[in-house]
């Protein structure tokens, strides 16, 4: 089933350290490139600017406990390092548009995304995952907005000047530490003012409720699943899911299995079935309705089940939803209509 879709999160830019030409030509590695995306219906995606720790940062499963794992926070990043890295990644994003020959457009308006849904080009939404590269006075935020930034996750699973993400722990509640700092609260207000989406994925629970109480935009978790099914810190409790629904926001369901956010065992489970992913989709629909569920792969930022493989597996996932009883309209809502509604409201964009 080929339906155009908007994907809530990828780390694909990390794969193009040596230039973006292979993205357009196609590569055998990673989860997303232009040809595979285009073939599968990937109309638009959130392209993350993520600053990795400069020292080694092993996967969470390296920190085994009796029942699962508990990874400590990686070291905080220095502003100088994060700022330089952020500029490098944003420049790469701009290069993707510039070198695409019209095949890839940086989405600055909802109209830009509608063009992608209509098949005119592929669109990328510039996202920052962990705002270490933004100064506390938020000067960089205004500059980045002008460049095309339209989505910010204040924290990754790390502590920074704005708040704390959840450390990777399984099994564990997402209530792992303090809420947003004053700078974090200002960041939320300024994102609201500019019309930048705030991403709740990776925030700890107190930070989540801080955003919920301050923000005037629909609440969005771009790549998170149901904690009730897979009790990892990165997933959302029922109360959080309900708040997202009540705000007219959405959850982008993720396929991440290392760290595992899909199956109840929490282990590295590349053998997970596509039904293990759709289980989260049905669970969310059951709680908050079809209008508040979307896709948020985390492609190229994690491993995904072998059954899905890469972006070319998404049509299989949508097919499965059809077999499981969802109508064409339901599937279109999950694939792109819900994202369009939320972005229209959040970007304060009347185009
Ligand atoms: Zn992430």
Q: Which of 143, 259, 146, 149 is nearest to 201 (CA)?
A: 259
**What pLDDT sits at residue 206?**
98
The rounded percent of the chain whose pLDDT value lies above 90 is 95
**What pLDDT sits at residue 56?**
79
What is the whole-number distance in angstroms between the Cα of residue 19 and the centre of ligand 1?
A: 23
> Would the pTM of this model clear 0.95, i.e. be above it?
yes
Question: Is the CATH number 2.60.40.10 carried by domain 5-346?
Answer: no
Is 235 in contact with 280 (CB distance < 8 Å)? no
**What pLDDT sits at residue 190?**
98
* Crossing angle for the helix pair 205-214 and 238-246, to the nearest 10 degrees: 20
Q: What's the whole-number mean pLDDT along residues 64-70?
A: 93
pLDDT tens, 230-239? 999 999 999 9
**What pLDDT sits at residue 1?**
73
**Choice among 21-30, 61-70, 250-259, 284-293 with the minimum mean pLDDT:** 61-70
Q: What's the whole-number mean pLDDT along residues 161-170?
A: 98
**What pLDDT sits at residue 2?**
80
What is the whole-number distance in angstroms between the Cα of residue 235 and the centre of ligand 1?
A: 11
DSSP state of 291: G
Is 235 in contact with 220 (CB distance < 8 Å)? no
Task: Indicate whether 209 pLDDT > 90.
Answer: yes
**What pLDDT sits at residue 135?**
98
pLDDT tens, 83-123? 999 999 999 999 999 999 999 999 999 999 999 999 999 99
What is the whole-number distance in angstroms between the Cα of residue 301 and the centre of ligand 1?
A: 7
pLDDT tens, 297-341? 999 999 999 999 999 999 999 999 999 999 999 999 999 999 999
Q: What's the whole-number mean pLDDT along residues 67-95?
A: 96
What is the whole-number distance in angstroms between the Cα of residue 302 and the centre of ligand 1?
A: 8
What is the whole-number distance in angstroms between the Cα of residue 24 and the centre of ligand 1?
A: 24
**What pLDDT sits at residue 230?**
98
**What pLDDT sits at residue 351?**
54
What is the whole-number distance in angstroms between the Cα of residue 55 and the centre of ligand 1?
A: 18
Q: Which of 155, 156, 210 is nearest to 179 (CA)?
A: 210
What is the whole-number distance in angstroms between the Cα of residue 261 and the centre of ligand 1?
A: 11
* β-pair partners for 124: 45, 106
Task: Indicate whether 350 pLDDT > 70.
Answer: no
Q: Which residue has the tokens 């995606």?
A: 45
- What mean pLDDT, rounded, does the chain reach? 97
**What pLDDT sits at residue 59?**
86
Each domain of the chain, given as residue ranges in start order, spans 5-346
Which structure tokens are listed for 51? 């600053």
């Amino acid at each position: 089933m080929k339906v155009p879709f908007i994907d809530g999160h990828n780390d694909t830019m990390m794969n193009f350290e040596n230039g973006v030409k292979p993205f357009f030509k196609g590569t055998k590695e990673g989860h997303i490139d232009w040809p595979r995306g285009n073939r599968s219906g990937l109309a638009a995606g959130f392209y993350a600017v993520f600053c990795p720790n400069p020292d080694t940062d092993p996967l969470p499963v390296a920190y085994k406990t009796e029942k699962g794992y508990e990874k400590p926070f990686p070291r905080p990043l220095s502003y100088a390092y994060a700022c330089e890295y952020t500029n490098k990644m944003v420049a790469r994003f701009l290069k993707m548009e510039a070198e695409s020959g019209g095949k890839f457009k940086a989405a600055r308006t909802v109209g830009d995304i509608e063009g992608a849904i209509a098949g005119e080009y592929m669109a990328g939404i510039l996202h920052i995952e962990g705002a270490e590269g933004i100064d506390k006075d938020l000067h960089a935020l205004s500059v980045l907005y002008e460049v095309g930034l339209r989505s910010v996750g204040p924290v990754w699973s790390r502590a920074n000047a704005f708040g704390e993400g959840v450390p990777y722990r399984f099994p564990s509640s997402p209530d792992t530490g303090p809420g947003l700092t004053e700078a974090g609260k200002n960041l939320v207000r300024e994102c609201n003012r500019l019309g930048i989406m705030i991403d709740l994925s990776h925030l700890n629970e107190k930070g989540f409720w801080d955003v919920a109480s301050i923000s005037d935009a629909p609440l969005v978790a771009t790549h998170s699943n149901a904690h009730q099914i897979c009790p990892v810190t990165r997933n959302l409790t029922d109360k959080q899911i309900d708040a997202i629904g009540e705000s007219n926001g959405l959850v982008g369901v993720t396929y991440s299995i290392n760290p595992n956010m899909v199956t109840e065992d929490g282990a590295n489970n590349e053998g997970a079935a596509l039904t293990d992913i759709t289980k989260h989709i049905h669970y969310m629909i059951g709680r908050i309705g079809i209008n508040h569920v979307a896709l948020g792969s985390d492609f190229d930022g994690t491993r995904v089940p072998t059954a899905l493989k890469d972006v070319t597996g998404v049509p299989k996932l949508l097919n499965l939803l059809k077999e499981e009883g969802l109508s064409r309209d339901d599937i279109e809502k999950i694939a792109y209509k819900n994202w369009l509604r939320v972005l229209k409201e959040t970007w304060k964009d009347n185009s």
